């Protein structure tokens, strides 16, 4: 049982935290802008590399560099919306979806041009885990990742439910036409959506670097599990996306545990769990656990 906790449950919570933060932006962008943003993973990669540059130039800790990652990712997201997505808003959604594929390729090419294609880490070397009761072991980075994700989830909930801007964002997500007629500033809401979504994606990118390493295809490889988390929680439901991302991450790790003597599936194929869950949700409960918007 202790091996289940140390080597499967805790890594699952960590992976789920990364998926959850990325899934929030996907869910919010779809809920307000009504399109699937396929460049979201590469936006995560940009944030991760921005933090890597900050760590290399100033020597600050990766956690402190999250602020740099958020600022850079938010600026890139706002500029991208202004240049590529805003001119397409009056056209059918498929145009914007296809444009997001092109943006993803541009982001990835820019990362490879600026930072190269080699795998890189924030903190090289082995980090000694925390040990409790002689048997329970947890890496410090896992505590930081899961703890920060919980704090951000609570802060997001308070923002959406207690602030005027958050309430306007919810109103626009429910009915953008009615919100515009009521005089609500939909453009400001869209800007806040990009800032929050990009900021959380950048934070997730830094967490990937803390947990393993970063490379130019990192965000693209994580895109499908993040979409699966957003679908599982319910499109347009940010807190549902957090729950969905957590479930996907934990499921990926637990499915490799030898419950009956052998692993349910090989660790090499655990990423397929996200595919299975996503397809099952679309078939059985397409509105997700939190009754989000139908695709």
Q: What is the pLDDT of residues 40-74, one digit of tens each?
A: 999 999 999 999 999 999 999 999 999 999 999 99
CA distance 197 to 97: 17
Question: Does 127 have pLDDT greater than 70?
Answer: no
Cα-flanking dihedrals φ and ψ of residue 131, to 5°? -120, 130
* pLDDT at residue number 73: 98
Domains in the chain, please, with CATH?
2-117+134-284 (1.10.3470)
136 DSSP 8-state letter? E
Could you tell me which residues come within 8 angstroms of residue 17 by beta carbon, excluding any fewer than 6 positions away? Answer: 145, 146, 148, 149, 204, 207, 245, 246, 249
Could you tell me which residues come within 8 angstroms of residue 293 by beta carbon, excluding any fewer than 6 positions away? Answer: 30, 31, 234, 235, 236, 287
CA distance 229 to 24: 9
Q: Which long-range contacts (CB under 8 A, 24 or more apart) does 107-112 make?
A: 107/39, 107/42, 107/43, 107/45, 107/46, 107/76, 108/42, 108/45, 108/216, 108/217, 108/220, 110/46, 111/42, 111/45, 111/46, 111/49, 111/216, 112/216
Residue indicated by tokens 């807190």: 239
- Measured between its terminal Cα atoms, the distance across the chain in Å is 40
Question: Does 195 have pLDDT greater than 90?
Answer: yes
Question: Does 254 have pLDDT greater than 90?
Answer: no
Question: Does 272 have pLDDT greater than 60?
Answer: yes
CA distance 175 to 284: 26
Q: What is the pLDDT of residues 75-108, one digit of tens each?
A: 999 999 999 999 999 899 999 999 999 999 999 9
* pLDDT at residue number 1: 67
Question: Does 2 have pLDDT greater than 60?
Answer: yes
84 DSSP 8-state letter? I
* pLDDT at residue number 290: 83
Question: Does 116 have pLDDT greater than 60?
Answer: yes
CA distance 68 to 81: 20
Which pLDDT band, with edges at 50, 70 and 90, does 261 fall under?
Answer: low
Q: What is the mean pLDDT of the chain?
A: 89
Which pLDDT band, with edges at 50, 70 and 90, does 294 fall under?
Answer: low
Question: Does 186 have pLDDT greater than 80?
Answer: yes
- Helix H, strand E, coil C: the string for 26-38 is HHHHHHHHCCCCC
Percent of the chain exceeding pLDDT 90 equals 64
Half-sphere CA count of 177, side-chain side, radius 13 A: 1
Q: What is the pLDDT of residues 23-45, one digit of tens each?
A: 999 999 998 998 999 999 999 99
* pLDDT at residue number 258: 76
Name the 3-class secondary structure at 132: strand
Nearest to 186 by CA among 34, 291, 24: 34
Query: What's the rounded mean pLDDT across residues 202-231?
Result: 95
Question: Does 266 have pLDDT greater than 90?
Answer: no
CA distance 66 to 199: 9
Question: Does 253 have pLDDT greater than 60?
Answer: yes
CA distance 275 to 35: 20
Which pLDDT band, with edges at 50, 70 and 90, does 292 fall under?
Answer: confident
> In this predicted model, which residue has the larger pLDDT, 97 or 6?
97
């Amino acid at each position: 049982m202790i091996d289940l906790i140390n080597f499967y449950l805790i890594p699952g919570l960590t992976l789920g935290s990364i998926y959850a933060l990325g899934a929030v932006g996907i869910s919010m962008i779809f809920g307000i802008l009504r399109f699937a943003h396929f460049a979201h993973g590469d936006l995560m990669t940009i944030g991760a590399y921005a933090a890597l540059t900050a760590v290399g130039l100033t020597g600050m800790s990766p956690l402190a560099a999250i602020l740099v990652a958020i600022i850079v990712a938010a600026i890139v997201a706002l500029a991208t919306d202004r240049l590529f997505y805003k001119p397409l808003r009056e056209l059918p959604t498929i145009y914007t979806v296809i444009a997001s594929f092109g943006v993803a390729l541009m982001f990835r090419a820019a990362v490879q041009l600026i930072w190269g294609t080699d795998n890189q880490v924030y903190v090289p070397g082995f980090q000694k885990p925390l040990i409790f009761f002689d048997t329970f072991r947890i890496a410090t980075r896992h505590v930081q990742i899961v703890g920060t994700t919980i704090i951000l989830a609570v802060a997001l909930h308070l923002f959406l439910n207690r602030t005027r801007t958050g309430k306007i964002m919810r109103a626009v997500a429910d009915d953008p036409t009615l919100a515009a007629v009521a005089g609500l500033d939909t453009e400001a809401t869209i800007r806040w959506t990009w800032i929050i979504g990009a900021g959380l994606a950048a934070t997730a990118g830094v967490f990937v670097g803390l947990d393993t390493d970063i490379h130019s295809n990192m965000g693209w490889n994580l895109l499908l599990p993040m979409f699966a988390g957003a679908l599982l929680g319910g499109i347009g439901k940010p807190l549902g996306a957090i729950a969905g991302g957590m479930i996907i991450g934990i499921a990926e790790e637990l499915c490799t545990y030898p419950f009956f003597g052998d692993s349910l599936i090989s660790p090499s194929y655990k990423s397929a769990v996200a595919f299975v869950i996503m397809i099952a949700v679309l078939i059985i409960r397409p509105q997700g656990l939190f009754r989000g918007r139908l695709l």
